[in-house]
Amino acid sequence: MQNRLVYHGSAVIVQFPEIRIHKYNKDFYYGFYCTDIKEQAVRWATRHGGTGIINVYKYTPSDSLKTKVFDEMTEEWLDFIVDCRLGKPHDYDIVEGPMADDTIFNYVQNYVDGKISREAFWALAKFKHPTHQISFHTAKALSAIEYVESIEVTDER
């Protein structure tokens, strides 16, 4: 396991990450979400306006943390996301894997709502390229990331 940089896109500088409970459950449940794709963090940071902040952290994996990694979208990944979106907690410190982008999110929601079958989900999702997310779910997990810097970014679209 190697140290690497991860990015959190936000409207504000986040020197001291925390886990916040939101109204809606996310892909991997409540947690502090980052990505290892800088361009994706820019999209997160600028989604509510033209300017945002990319917070950069050094992530140091640890065998003492219970970690779940999904290398790609699989049946297990889909079931895990469905459970999390339905409010079922898990006991992982860190979860990493593909992110359901806006389109895939809609497919997942349609599947959760019973509007499409599992087979229809996979038929629709196979043409999409998911992005990356790593979520930190416990205080112990947050100790695996160290603040490096914050960078102001602008949406160039």
What is the model's pLDDT at position 114? Answer: 92
Q: Domains of the chain by range and CATH?
A: 4-100+132-154 (3.90.228.10)
Token couple for 130? 């998911």
What is the model's pLDDT at position 1? Answer: 64
Instruction: With beta carbons less than 8 A apart as the criterion, state whether 65 and 93 touch.
Output: yes
pTM of the predicted structure, to 2 decimals: 0.88
Mean pLDDT by runs of 10 across the 157 residues of the chain is 91 93 78 93 87 96 96 91 89 92 79 91 77 93 97 83
Torsion of CA 144, 146, 150, 155, to 10 degrees: -20
Token couple for 99? 């992110």
**Exposure of 146 by Cβ count < 10 A (0-12 exposed, 13-18 middle, 19+ buried)?**
exposed
What is the model's pLDDT at position 47? Answer: 86
Residues 74 and 122: their CA atoms lie apart, in Å, by 9
Strands 94-99 and 4-10: unpaired
Q: What are phi and psi of 5, to 5 degrees?
A: -90, 140
The separation between CA 76 and the C-alpha centre of its own chain, rounded to angstroms, equals 16
**Exposure of 139 by Cβ count < 10 A (0-12 exposed, 13-18 middle, 19+ buried)?**
exposed
What is the model's pLDDT at position 23? Answer: 65
